[in-house]
Structure 1
Amino acid sequence: MEAKKGNLYLIPCTLGDTPPLEVLPLLVKKAVEEIDHYIAEHEKNVRSFIKSISPRKSQPDLQISLINKFTDESETPAMLAPCHAGFDVGVLSDAGCPGVADPGALVVAAAHRQNIKVVPLVGPSSILLALMGSGLNGQNFAFNGYLPIDKRERRLEIKRLERLSAERNQSQLFIETPYRNNQLLESILSTVQADTQICVACDITLPTEYIKTLPASVWSKQKVDLNKRPTIFIIQK
């Protein structure tokens, strides 16, 4: 008879320096307190988050496997080995929900192939919170990740997303490295049509949270500094 496997828990964390229990349910705290095996992008961030939500948890007992966008599928069996030994494993993102705009999806896919139960826990997703607060189409939307850095390619991609939005009545979401946010907003405003709706949602769940949706013609008269502030952009034609 096959031994009982542990589960793979997808554990959301905060989107910034917010007290964890202001945005996370108690079930997340319970999972963190019971799990010693983790998969994450950065060990320092994992340890800091675990300490913030469970200060009494023994840090030396933590076993942390690292994953990033360069991780190969062949590395996932070792990460999931504790599950086959009967231990639960937690996947943690640097911010928000693991597996969503996050390399954790690789190990989740491997868990399904290995018949390991995947348990997603409730927590903040900047993508969904931005969409919720935008007033744009939440019935039909697409998340496009990062846009090209090259100015010409980025402009072409913005035009393509605007066209898709019009053809499909679909909200188009995307992000940028925080220190390039202001440049991206400038690119959007200089590219889209005047009546295209633009939502800028930054610092979600933080005291400095800012969410505003306006047509491009009005945005051009606004002054907002998005530099180094995690931001979701949404356009809808």
Structure 2
Amino acid sequence: MPGTLYLIPNTLGPTEAAPDALSHILPDMVQAQTARLDYFVAENAKTARAFLKLIALRHPLAKPLQEIEIAELNVNTPPQALTTLLAPLLAGRDAGLVSEAGVPAVADPGADLVRLAHQHGVTVRPLVGPSSLLLAVMASGLNGQSFAFNGYLPTDAALRAKRIRELELRSRAERQTQLLIETPYRNGAMLEALTGNCQPGTLICVATDLSLPSESVRTLGAGKWKALLAAGQAPDFHKKPTVFLLLAQ
């Protein structure tokens, strides 16, 4: 009988190494289930080990950390390697899928493994934890009844501007909140592109370091954001994970 694939949320950023460090982020039952596993598929093995060290502060791990198997699944993993990653589950072993940050399989290469697990009749169990996208929608004040995640926009300035205008038109036509992310060191360029290509009344939310002590969420019209940027009052979001949201009025 195949094992179970547990989808284990990770923290959304650096977390203090204290016994109760995860208490406001992950339910205790999620931490306990994670500690019982000895096989993980992770986007980055080093990050996964750091996460397991936090888990171990409250729940003893199934094996010493150095004996726990962590296989990597990221953008560089060839599709044919998925079968190898799934093999332990088909042999009856439970496994945990862990993202670099937040929930696995959402804007994350782990989705490919989850799909393959379903194809082979493996039970998939999503566990409760932080999602930066949902937290951003919750805190933005924008439309939470209809929203779409668009991932990364083109890095080419002209193509990015064209895509922003398309998203604004879609938002206005469907009354739909549009979510997007950017490589943290390009957050400033993204906000400038949004304010430069959206109508002044279009609402833009900048949600940074969600669930962390430095968390910041602010929603303003594109025109007001543009004025703040011109006055040198950009958000403190350089090199910090940020979700951008827009809703055309």
Report the TM range for the smaller structure's normalisation: over 0.9
Identity %: 46
> Are residues 1:143 and 2:140 paired?
no
Aligned match for 1:23, one of 25, 41, 63: 25
Residue pairs, 1:84-233, within 5 angstroms: 84-222=90-228, 223=233, 224-233=235-244
- The CA deviation string for residues 3-49 of structure 1, in whole angstroms up to 9 with x for no partner, is x2210000001101232222111122111111010101111001010
- The CA deviation string for residues 168-222 of structure 1, in whole angstroms up to 9 with x for no partner, is 1110000000000001101111110010000000000011111011111111233
Aligned match for 1:45, one of 40, 47, 58: 47
Residue pairs, 1:71-90, within 5 angstroms: 71-90=77-96
Structure 1 residue ranges, 4+ long, deviating more than 6 angstroms after superposition: none
Q: Which SS does the other structure have where 1:128 is aligned?
A: helix
Does structure 2 conserve the Cα–Cα contact (< 8 Å) formed by 1:145 and 1:175? yes
Matched residue, 2:7:
10
Does structure 2 conserve the Cα–Cα contact (< 8 Å) formed by 1:182 and 1:225? no
Q: What amino acid is aligned across from residue 236 of structure 1 in structure 2?
A: L
TM-score (norm 1): 0.96
The Cα shift of 1:113 comes to 0.3
d(CA) in 2 for partners of 1:84, 1:156: 46
The Cα shift of 1:89 comes to 0.6
d(CA) in 1 for partners of 2:113, 2:29: 22
Matched residue, 2:245:
234
Q: What amino acid is aligned across from residue 114 of structure 2 in structure 1?
A: V
Matched residue, 2:34:
32
Does structure 2 conserve the Cα–Cα contact (< 8 Å) formed by 1:203 and 1:210? yes
Q: Which SS does the other structure have where 2:148 is aligned?
A: strand
Question: What CA RMSD, in Å, does the superposition of the two structures yield over aligned residues?
Answer: 1.0
Q: Which SS does the other structure have where 1:100 is aligned?
A: coil
Matched residue, 2:18:
none
TM-score (norm 2): 0.91
d(CA) in 2 for partners of 1:114, 1:139: 34
Q: What amino acid is aligned across from residue 238 of structure 2 in structure 1?
A: N
Q: Which SS does the other structure have where 2:167 is aligned?
A: helix
Unaligned residue ranges in structure 1 (runs of 5+): none
Unaligned residue ranges in structure 2 (runs of 5+): 16-20
- How many residues in Structure 1 have an aligned counterpart in Structure 2? 234
Q: Which SS does the other structure have where 1:201 is aligned?
A: strand
